[in-house]
């Protein structure tokens, strides 16, 4: 196997990792929203994010990904998941693996061991992006306010994921359930999207959950 430098990026006990919306103190807002709110937000912070690049047409590559993650390579504009682990198509030769926080280093090791000497790339991008989960009966209305992409169920079924313009910027929308959607956001834009979602959800009521 080709030698690579792999680093444990997550701070240890002597340093505190802060989520992109740490300053917003979302924990203090839990239970303070409107009852029966139409939109529920969860900050799925500090998860492990790894990008994988290789050739989907190569059986050895596809087999190695499956062996290391327990998931089959998803087709274009889709994601597959098992519990808190998901694998999303980003492009013809790129995928995003999301694992529970703290497991990204081990996940990267498993991938590299499974790939052996294959010509692939695995990059830990956990520090650069995060996920905001939206659920509730009025989420689609909020999305319709925010993006020109068609989020009708006929065009955006469960399991679909697309990169698109959202609130005059760009992010990835992932539909993970009938009333559950995820926004894969860049860390530096987290505050902007948090402010946008508060305003877009105001008429329906916004509830924060842990």
> Mapping DSSP to helix (H, G, I), strand (E, B) and coil, where does residue 135 land?
strand
| pLDDT score, position 15 | 72
**b vs e for 154-166, b when ≥16 Cβ sit within 10 Å of the residue's Cβ?**
eebeebbbbeeeb
Contact yes or no for 85/99 (Cβ under 8 A): yes
What is the arithmetic mean of pLDDT over 113-140? 96
Whether residue 1 is predicted with pLDDT greater than 60 in this model: the reply is no
Give all strands of the β-sheet with 121-124 in edge-to-edge order. 79-82, 85-91, 94-99, 48-53, 121-124
Q: Tens digits of per-residue pLDDT, 76-111?
A: 999 999 999 999 999 999 999 999 999 999 999 999
> Mapping DSSP to helix (H, G, I), strand (E, B) and coil, where does residue 91 land?
strand
| pLDDT score, position 75 | 95
The span from the CA of 203 to the CA of 70, in Å, is 41
**b vs e for 13-45, b when ≥16 Cβ sit within 10 Å of the residue's Cβ?**
eeeeeebbbeebebeeeeeebeeebbbbbbbbb
Q: Tens digits of per-residue pLDDT, 24-74?
A: 999 999 988 888 999 999 999 999 999 999 999 999 999 999 999 999 999
All structural domains of the chain: 22-208 (3.30.1360.120)
If pLDDT is split at 50, 70 and 90, which confidence band does 151 have? very high
Give all strands of the β-sheet with 39-44 in edge-to-edge order. 161-166, 169-177, 180-186, 129-135, 39-44, 206-208
Whether residue 3 is predicted with pLDDT greater than 80 in this model: the reply is no
Whether residue 12 is predicted with pLDDT greater than 80 in this model: the reply is no
The span from the CA of 207 to the CA of 117, in Å, is 48
If pLDDT is split at 50, 70 and 90, which confidence band does 7 have? low
Cut 0.75: pTM above it: yes
């Amino acid at each position: 196997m080709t030698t690579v430098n792999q680093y444990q990026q997550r701070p240890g006990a002597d340093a505190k990792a802060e989520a992109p919306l740490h300053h917003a103190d979302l924990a203090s807002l839990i239970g303070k929203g409107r009852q029966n709110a139409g939109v529920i937000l969860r900050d799925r912070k500090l998860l492990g994010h790894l990008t994988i690049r290789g050739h989907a047409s190569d059986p050895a590559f596809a087999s190695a990904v499956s062996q290391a993650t327990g998931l089959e390579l998803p087709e274009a504009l889709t994601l597959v998941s098992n519990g808190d682990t998901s694998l999303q198509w980003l492009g013809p030769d790129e995928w995003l693996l999301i694992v529970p926080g703290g497991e990204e280093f081990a996940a990267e090791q498993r991938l590299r061991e499974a790939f052996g000497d294959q010509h692939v790339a695995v990059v830990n991008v956990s520090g650069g992006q995060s996920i905001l989960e939206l659920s509730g009966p009025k989420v689609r209305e909020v999305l319709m306010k925010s993006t020109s992409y068609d989020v009708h169920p006929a065009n955006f079924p469960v399991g679909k994921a697309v990169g698109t313009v959202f609130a005059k910027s760009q992010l990835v929308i992932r539909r993970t359930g009938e009333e559950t959607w995820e926004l894969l956001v860049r860390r530096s834009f987290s505050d902007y999207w948090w402010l946008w979602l508060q305003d877009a959800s105001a008429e329906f009521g916004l509830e924060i959950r842990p």
